[in-house]
Structure 1
Amino acid sequence: MAFHEIRFPDNISRGARGGPRRMTQVVELSSGDEERNASWANSRRVYDVSYGIRNADQLAEVVSFFEARNGRLYGFRFKDWSDYKSCSPMQVSHPADMALGVGDGTRTEFQLRKFYISGSQSWTRIITKPVADTVRVAVNGVEQLSGWTVDTTTGVVTFANPPAAGQQVRAGFQFDVPVRFDTDQLDLILDIERLGSIPSIPLIEVRR
């Protein structure tokens, strides 16, 4: 996947609009009943960054960012201010936040992930773009200050020595969303005095 490990400007993403999108097929029967089927197993984040642009300099910054990514060609990192931690946005991430797996004495690699739970239902999100220096890891409830590394381009935690069988591996972290521009054209209003009328600048989450 063509991807640049650079983050979209935070001062603009903070004012963007968007969130998760799912794809569900809904068939209405002649009786008025419905049949619903999920086309996607996982949600896909979509955003519109035009809402975060407040002045001409920020507009120029977005244009430069767009050109450097060659439009839709290269993906990049995006901070979703509503969902960027292993905990809720107003809390501080903790090494025990999310379960990554259980050691077996052989396994050394564990993928970062985040669980979304409501009632008896849950969904697991694979985290591939953790933010450097924010990842904290615990084994059996004890934070590990050394003996492991994390790949910030894949979200894989690798231990120098495998956790023993039965040991719980958990982690806390911040993360970005891998996205790309969902257009090859920025249809901008060229009168800088009318920046409040900037059309949509869409982003969409990318998957490998």
Structure 2
Amino acid sequence: MAIAAFEEVRFPLRLSFGTSGGPGRRVEIVRLSTGFEHRNLRHRHSVRRYDAGSGLRSLADLAEVLAFFEARRGRLTGFRFRDPLDWHSAPHGTAVGAFDQLLGIGDGTTTRFDLRKSYGEGEAAYHRPIEKPVAGTVKAAVDGTEVAAGVVVDTVAGAVSFAAPPGVGAAVTAGFAFDVPVRFDIEQLSVNVAAFEAGDIPSIPLIEIRP
């Protein structure tokens, strides 16, 4: 039986809200003989790491994670994970809307636009690819008008397609909730039940992947 490299299944949502972690950047820093630093960003995109162990509150939670780990064959198969802090396109504390994020500018030909979330402003902004939007949450707009009919959402690769190409110069925007594609970053779940009941929380690392 072939095992999938990625499954469109989400890590238990109620457990993800208690996890810790976030984005990381690998930057090489070389101090020159002049005393100045030369800094080089090794990767274009950040990589998020989480610890799912901090979300466990009971033996039932632990058993649920164990079953999920086994079903994914440990580190073999990737899955969806809800980042407890950064999981939608809108500013913190506001609802998702069709004008949240600029996806691109219409050229009269292109019908498919990849989802992304921007951090910062202007030329220095970081545009993060969003590959795992949540079905039923994506809203799209063209030139300031929300479009409902004829919009197809790709929840596997993260894109929206329009029945007709947006006109030249038309801003294409979208709003959405999304998950992070991750895998387990541990080969063995090593848990002492007595220690867990005494408050010793196991470490269950997850790492973001490109499915």
Which band: TM-score by shorter chain? over 0.9
| Aligned CA-pair RMSD | 1.6
| Percent of residue pairs identical | 50
Structure 1 residue 185, shift from structure 2 partner: 0.7
* Corresponding residue for residue 101 of structure 1: 104
Structure 2 Cα separation of the partners of residues 118 and 164 of structure 1: 25
- Whether the aligned pair in 1 keeps the contact of 2:77 and 2:183 (CA below 8 Å) is yes
TM-score, normalised to structure 2's length?
0.93
Is the alpha carbon distance of 1:186 and 1:24 closer, same or farther for their aligned partners in structure 2, counting shifts above 3 Å? Answer: same
Of the structure 1 ranges 194-203 and 26-35, higher mean CA displacement relative to structure 2 is found in 26-35
Of the structure 1 ranges 33-42 and 116-125, higher mean CA displacement relative to structure 2 is found in 116-125
Which runs of structure 1 show a deviation greater than 4 angstroms over 4 or more consecutive aligned residues?
A: none
Structure 2 Cα separation of the partners of residues 120 and 159 of structure 1: 27
* Corresponding residue for residue 156 of structure 1: 159
Of the structure 1 ranges 150-159 and 118-127, higher mean CA displacement relative to structure 2 is found in 118-127
Structure 1 Cα separation of the partners of residues 34 and 192 of structure 2: 49
Equivalence map 1:32-43=2 (5 Å):
32-43=35-46
* Corresponding residue for residue 24 of structure 1: 27
- Whether the aligned pair in 1 keeps the contact of 2:106 and 2:167 (CA below 8 Å) is yes
- Whether the aligned pair in 2 keeps the contact of 1:55 and 1:195 (CA below 8 Å) is no
Structure 2 Cα separation of the partners of residues 56 and 25 of structure 1: 42
Gaps of 5+ in 2: none
SS of equivalent residue, structure 1 residue 59:
helix
* Corresponding residue for residue 203 of structure 2: 200
* Corresponding residue for residue 184 of structure 2: 181
* Corresponding residue for residue 59 of structure 2: 56
- Whether the aligned pair in 2 keeps the contact of 1:25 and 1:36 (CA below 8 Å) is yes
Gaps of 5+ in 1: none
Structure 1 residue 35, shift from structure 2 partner: 2.0
Post-superposition Cα deviations, 1:90-125, rounded to whole Å, max 9, x if no partner, equal 110110111111112211100010000068621000
Post-superposition Cα deviations, 1:139-176, rounded to whole Å, max 9, x if no partner, equal 11111111111010011111111112221111011100
Equivalence map 1:88-127=2 (5 Å):
88-117=91-120, 121-127=124-130
* Corresponding residue for residue 77 of structure 1: 80
- Whether the aligned pair in 2 keeps the contact of 1:189 and 1:195 (CA below 8 Å) is no
